[in-house]
Structure 1
Amino acid sequence: MADVTLSPEIAAQNKGPAIVATSCSLTALATVFVAARLFTRAKLIGKMGLDDWFLLGAIICSYISLGLSTAAVKSGDGKHFQLLDLDQKSGAIKYTIAGFCPGIFSFALPKLAVISLLTKLLNPSRIHRIFLWVLGLTTLMVLFGCVIILYAQCTPSASQWDFSITEKTCWSKYVLVNYAIFSGSLSAFTDLYLAVYPSLVLWKLQMSLRKKLVLSISLGLGVVATVVAIYKTTRIPGLASPDFSYDTCDLVIWTSIEGNTIIMATCIPVLRPLADLVFGKKVFGSSANKGYGSKGYDSKGYGSHSGHVNLNSIELSNVKHGNAKGTILSSKRGGRDPMKVDSQESILGHDNTTTHGSNKAGWIQRTDDVSVSYDDAPGSRKGENQW
């Protein structure tokens, strides 16, 4: 039986309901965002991308984590360890440990979805593209290392929750704690980098301040996940606590918060056609093509670049419901066909094409304004042609 030596006030403490309420509500909300994203991509745009599949996998992992966390709470997780009998202790440890694996994937996979989106939208250089994928995959593998250590820290692994196994060998619990702090810090850094990177690129473009802010915020919402990841890292020492069923509850809660937060943040940037359809107005405002003068953005380091052609603007065109498409146009550089989207695919994931100056619904469009100045002869009138 349980060894009850706690005061009535402490014995009454139970974080189990908080685990279930937080995880259920956030997972349900994240499901709405993922469903809206998939509807936008599959129905309004007609094409799904790799980032959509990453997010679908993430929300599935979130549900698996929710189910295992609920099973742990049913076994007594959330209450102080001293209040549980052997069966409850076994169930609380087993299901909590099992829930960490899908919980980790729930916030690791969306990072790959963000990278997939940003590499298509911002068209980084080959080196930067490789760096982004290496960063995302490395973070995923380092985070999965927590699961490996979690199960490998005792031999046999089942001895962690099966108290009938008396012959066992275990590492210090702080091996897992220290590694988990490192992996959590790397995860927070990755979220921060992926949130700041698009803002730095967009801020250099010749476009209105309002559009810069809207796009930077929508693409940089991962910074919220950064804050959550940092705080969650402070909860990791609970893994080494003798009061396991109570002190790990905060880690379980914040793992759910981090996973579902980054899922929702990753969905928002591609929901513009649906938002236009629901609210019946142009969410990003009017965006008729405008000239921005001869000073343009040098895209060196972020995309193909040659000679005297500069990237002058990214325009958000007017929206007409029922024809919500999205494409970033690429100019003809180095012999490339300007009508081929290539790596600069739509932020909305559709590969349609258009002619310069068209005003299709929901398009994010890059235009190149090239000014050519010439003198006909000494003393003649100087003219300027606009292309």
Structure 2
Amino acid sequence: MATFTLALATLGMRMYCNFKRLRKPGCDDGTIIIATICSLIQLILNTLFLHHGLGRHVVYLTPHQIIQSYKFSQLVIFPFIFCTVITKISIAFMVLRLTQEQWMRYCMFALIASLVIVNGGCVVILFTYCRPYYASWDITVTGERCWSGRVLAVASSVQGVWSIATDLICTSTPLMLIWKVQMSISQKIATTILIGFGLVTTGCSVGRCVYYATTKFSQDQTCKRFF
């Protein structure tokens, strides 16, 4: 909640500058607003997940709580994917506004396309993993048809590795452009430090990949999967 409040504050300042002062809003502003909305949806679903059982052992939950907690643990994945992807697309749009170099523009369009393809593929796999879809969390469903867990593992690995790569691209590319812009050294250093915080996201992506690659999940999903 604290980080989301900080995100709202920085978004508000950005919108004020681009819409009110500069009067030059762009696609990067629109996409970052959409990404923030996705982040809000993710926060709401995480709160519902917490309400229904996140952090508690399955043995202490009712069947209804188990189903609901599993459901929200599945649903929260989608706004998470959309939020991260749209944020990176917003950065790509920002780079497109800052440069007219053709090779850089082609790279940004390729980045946007790859983000849509890789993460769109993951969303499709998640939606079609079980038939009916709600069988992936409803333990009372019988006769369900689900793919092998290896499909999810491979999709998660591909998405995770590409997420790390695009995190590095989205952090390093603006840094290169900033030092070509006419501004004081102190402003360039301050901007570099701020953009450098994007490496925290890269670290989180690396940690997520390592965690899911090395962890053997127990049946106590509401507790031991996250703690």
Partner of 1:100: 77
Instruction: For 1:22-61, list aligned pairs within 5 A.
Output: 24-61=1-38
Partner of 1:159: 135
Percent of aligned pairs sharing the same letter: 28
Q: Report the Cα distance in structure 2 between the residues aligned to 1:36 and 1:96, rounded to whole angstroms.
A: 32
Conserved? CA contact 1:109–1:140, under 8 Å: no
How many residues were matched structurally? 226
Specify which of 90, 97, 115 is matched with residue 139 of structure 1. 115
Alignment pair present for 1:187 and 2:166: no
Specify which of 120, 130, 136 is matched with residue 106 of structure 2. 130
Partner of 1:196: 172
Specify which of 229, 252, 256 is matched with residue 205 of structure 2. 229
What is the identity, as a one-letter code, of the residue corresponding to 1:53?
A: G
Scaled by the length of structure 2, what TM-score is found?
A: 0.87
What is the identity, as a one-letter code, of the residue corresponding to 2:55?
A: G
Matched residue SS, 2:76: helix
Is the helix fraction higher in 1 or 2? Answer: 2
Q: Report the Cα distance in structure 2 between the residues aligned to 1:52 and 1:205, rounded to whole angstroms.
A: 20
- Cα distance change, pair 154–119 in 1 and its aligned pair in 2 (3 A): same
- Cα distance change, pair 124–228 in 1 and its aligned pair in 2 (3 A): farther
Q: Report the Cα distance in structure 2 between the residues aligned to 1:150 and 1:208, rounded to whole angstroms.
A: 48
- After superposition, the C-alpha distances for 1:280-305 in whole angstroms (9 at most, x for unaligned) are xxxxxxxxxxxxxxxxxxxxxxxxxx
Matched residue SS, 2:106: helix
How far 1:231 moved relative to its partner?
Answer: 1.4
Alignment pair present for 1:111 and 2:88: yes
User: Higher relative contact order by CA 8 Å / sep ≥ 6: 1 or 2?
Assistant: 2
- After superposition, the C-alpha distances for 1:39-93 in whole angstroms (9 at most, x for unaligned) are 1111121231110111100110011111111111111122223332211110011
Specify which of 85, 88, 91 is matched with residue 68 of structure 2. 91
What is the identity, as a one-letter code, of the residue corresponding to 2:173?
A: Y
Conserved? CA contact 2:95–2:108, under 8 Å: no
How far 1:207 moved relative to its partner?
Answer: 7.8
Conserved? CA contact 2:45–2:76, under 8 Å: yes
What is the identity, as a one-letter code, of the residue corresponding to 1:42?
A: F
Alignment pair present for 1:245 and 2:218: no
Alignment pair present for 1:177 and 2:150: no
- After superposition, the C-alpha distances for 1:23-43 in whole angstroms (9 at most, x for unaligned) are x22112111111111111111
Q: Report the Cα distance in structure 1 between the residues aligned to 2:181 and 2:80, rounded to whole angstroms.
A: 38
How far 1:164 moved relative to its partner?
Answer: 2.5
Q: Report the Cα distance in structure 2 between the residues aligned to 1:98 and 1:61, rounded to whole angstroms.
A: 12
Rg (Cα) greater in structure: 1
Conserved? CA contact 1:101–1:144, under 8 Å: no
Conserved? CA contact 1:62–1:102, under 8 Å: yes
Q: Report the Cα distance in structure 2 between the residues aligned to 1:159 and 1:204, rounded to whole angstroms.
A: 53
Matched residue SS, 1:111: helix
Gaps in structure 1 of 5+ consecutive residues: 1-23, 251-387
How far 1:240 moved relative to its partner?
Answer: 5.4
Alignment pair present for 1:216 and 2:192: yes
Conserved? CA contact 1:173–1:239, under 8 Å: no
Q: Report the Cα distance in structure 2 between the residues aligned to 1:96 and 1:90, rounded to whole angstroms.
A: 10
Q: Report the Cα distance in structure 2 between the residues aligned to 1:38 and 1:248, rounded to whole angstroms.
A: 38
Partner of 2:124: 148
Alignment pair present for 1:121 and 2:92: no
Q: Report the Cα distance in structure 2 between the residues aligned to 1:107 and 1:239, rounded to whole angstroms.
A: 26
Q: Report the Cα distance in structure 2 between the residues aligned to 1:231 and 1:81, rounded to whole angstroms.
A: 26
What is the identity, as a one-letter code, of the residue corresponding to 1:27?
A: F
Matched residue SS, 1:235: helix
